[in-house]
Structure 1
Amino acid sequence: MNKSLLTMVIAATVFTAPLKAEDVYEYKETPKPNQIDDLLDDDKDGVINARDLCPQTPGKADIDNDGCGTYIKTEEEMNLHILFQNDSSVIQPMFLAQIREMSEFLEAYPSTSIELQGYASKVGKAEYNQKLSERRAQSVQTALLDNGVASSRVRIVGFGDTRLDELGDDEVSHAMNRKVVATVVGLKGNVKEEWSIFTKIEK
C-alpha cells in the first residue's frame, strides 16, 4: 500500500469512528448583546450619541467632553439718528444711507430687534406732537421694511415732546429734537475651531 492510500485509510477510520457519550455537547446559541446605549456618532465629533449633549455640533468645532462646541461671543453696536423738518415725518435723502446700514446690520445679526424712538420739538400742542413723533417712527419703520427687515423685528414708540435733549427755545434746539433714534446691540457666537496641523498660530 502506497503512502497516500495509507493516509486516506487512516483519515477515514478516524472520522468514521463512533462518537462516545462524553463527546456529545448540547448546542447553545450565541447570546445577543443587550446594547442599550446608542454608540453611533451622527455628527462625527468623536462623542457617541449616548453622551452627546449637543448633537448638531458644527464641523471642525473645538468640543468638550459632552460634545458641545466652544463659542466666541462678539458684540457690535449700531446707532440710528435721523432728523426731521418742522411738522414733517418725511425722511430726508441724506439719512437714507443710515437706514441701509441699519438694515445690513440687522441682517448680519438675525436675532437682534430694534426699537425706533420718535420725538418732537416743543412747538405746538403736546397731543399733536405725540402723534407726530409716532408718525416719524413709522416712516423709519417703513423704510427698514422696504430694505428687507422683517416687521416682527421692528418696534416703534413715540415720546412726543416729553423727552427733550435740547432745552433751548431757539430753532437749532427745536431742530435737534425733531428726530428718530435707535441703538441696537448685535451679539453673535462664532464657533471656535479645533486645532489641526493646518491651524495658524498668531504671532
Structure 2
Amino acid sequence: MDGTTIIVCFSIATFCFTFIFWLKKSENKYKYQKTKMVDLLIKQKDIHVNKFYSGPHFDLINDTVNKQIWFFILQHQTLQYKIIPYDELFQVNYKLDGHTIKTASRSGKLKRELIGGKVYDNSTSSPAMWKKSNDFRMAKEVRLTILIDDIQATTLDLVFHTSHLPVDLKYIKDEEAKDWFNVFTHIIEKEERKQA
C-alpha cells in the first residue's frame, strides 16, 4: 500500500468513527431528556413505580398499586404518554424481525368488535404458544407488540433492540423484552376484564 491509500483509509475510518460517536451522543441526549421528563411526571402524578424501563425510544412503568402501565415517548421536545389500565391489555406478542415467536392473549372479543367496529389487526387469532423455528438463529430486531382493548383497538410496537446487522440469538440483548413480556402475560392471564 502506498501512502495515499493509507491516508484515504484512515480518513474514511475517522469519518465513520466520528459519525457513529455523534449519533450515539445525540441518542443518549434524547434518552436522558426523556427520562428526566418522565421522572418529573412520576412525582407530579404520584405514579407508584414497581418496574421501570428506560429505552432509547420509549419508557415503560408498571404501577401495580393503580393497576396501570405507563408508556412514554418524547416527540418534538414534548413528553407524550399513554396510561394503559391492566384490564385493557388484550394481547402481547414477542417478535424477532417481525415474526411472532410467543404470544399471550385474552379470550373473547375486543370492545371495538362488540360495538360493531372492524379490527384490522389479525394478530388476535394466533395461538398462545411458542412458534420457534430451527431456521431462526439470528435477528436484527426484538420487539413486543401490544394490543389494547380500547375503542380504537390500539396497537403499540415496543422496539427493545435493533441493530444494522443480524446478531446470533445467543448474544442478542432481549432480557428486558422477555421480562416485560412476562409482566404483560401475567397481567393478561390474571387480571379480570371489565365488561364493555
In the superposition, the TM-score normalised over structure 2's length comes to: 0.21
Q: From the CA coordinates, give the structure whose radius of gyration is larger.
A: 1
Q: Which has the higher contact order (CA 8 A, sep 6+)?
A: 1
Instruction: Considering fraction of residues, name the structure with more helix.
Output: 2
**TM-score (normalizing by structure 1):** 0.21
**Higher strand content, 1 or 2:** 2
